[in-house]
Amino acid sequence: MAEQIEQVEQLEQVNGDLRLPPKKGKRKKPDVVDFGPKTNVAMNILLGFLAILCVFPFLYIIVISFSSQGSLATNGFRLIPSEWSTEAYKYLWNMKGQLLQSYGVTIVVTVVGTIFSVSMIALYSYAISRKQFAYRKQFTFFAFFTMLFSGGMVPAYIVMTQVLQLKNSIWALILPLAMNAFYIMIMRTFFIRSIPEPILEAARIEGASELRILLKIVLPLSLPGIATIALFSTLGYWNDWFNASLYIDNPQLVPLQSLLMKIENNLEFMRQNADIAFTSGAFSGIPQDGAKMAMVVISTVPIAITYPFFQKYFISGLTIGGVKE
């Protein structure tokens, strides 16, 4: 009987505790800052406006490239031209053989150069990011020193043409941009901060070599950083024209950007010497401004298409929760 009375009292005590109002305490701060509905609308409008500002110049260039030379000469640059025309693209299509050849050279240089550059940068930066590497400070200083001082154009030209014998070679367009000290520092910092050391220690305990750790663990966890460096390298190779002007004389190896620079220089030369050009008939019928804008379009569209393929890797927090300490 006494046990039953004790159980009833315990149940009443529990029910009483459940009926009590919750104790007032400090409100837990949310993990994500909530701006509120009005602020969210304002932020969306602001970001949309900034996005339009980024896209508008490229759309404006496309419109100008489809404008006739007469409307550009009469009315200037307008968002809606008085006369549409494809003269600029027809002018560039007349030299389609050289354009396609230069496109092919640029694509090969960009693809091979990006793979070569990312591989070298990843290997170098991973080595100097590991505490087990005894000479990491020396190699880090060696890379950082090249960010501040360089040999100059003349020594680089002598090395490329006389020492390495890369004159009129496709490697003359790849090797000068293969290593970048700034990208090395970015990847080094990424490896240090984003790759948990306990994961690497566990792999070493299991007997994995450093190369296997790099290929099987580090690189899969480093896709955002590698994708960023790959995109930077791709842009660098695609937009490079200076190295071609130094080391390439063979028309079969002229990249796209260098070819477009030569076309623009020819148009500018004919503009500055309009009397001679009009006398010879070479300047008549050439869409000067439209051709320049068309060159910008055909050189920008391919590289702009690659952005969606890199965008999915621009995320963070891949290693969050990977190790619990």
pLDDT in tens, 134-145: 888 899 999 889
Position 301 confidence tier, pLDDT thresholds 50, 70, 90: confident
**Residue 11, pLDDT score:** 47
Q: Decide which of 2.40.30.30, 1.10.3720.10, 3.40.50.1000, 2.40.440.10 is the CATH code for 85-273+284-322.
A: 1.10.3720.10
What pLDDT, on a 0 to 100 scale, did the predictor assign at position 276? 53
Q: Quick one: pLDDT at residue 46?
A: 93
What pLDDT is attached to residue 124? 93
Question: What's the confidence (pLDDT) of residue 270?
Answer: 63
pTM for the model: 0.75
Quote the pLDDT of residue 308.
73
Query: Which amino acid is it at 196?
Result: P
- Which of residues 320 and 85 earns the better pLDDT score? 85
Q: What SS3 string covers 164-203?
A: CCCCCCHHHCCHHHCCCHHHHHHHHHHHHHHCCHHHHHHH
What mean pLDDT value characterizes the chain?
79
Backbone angles phi, psi at 281, to 5 degrees: 80, 10
pLDDT in tens, 34-47: 667 888 888 889 98
Q: What's the rounded Cα separation, in Å, for the pair 123 and 218?
A: 11
Give mean pLDDT, residues 196-203. Answer: 86
pLDDT in tens, 266-290: 776 666 665 555 545 555 556 677 7
Of the chain, the percentage scoring pLDDT greater than 90 comes to 16
Rounded to whole angstroms, the Cα distance separating 119 from 164 reads 21
Q: What percent of the chain has pLDDT over 70?
A: 78
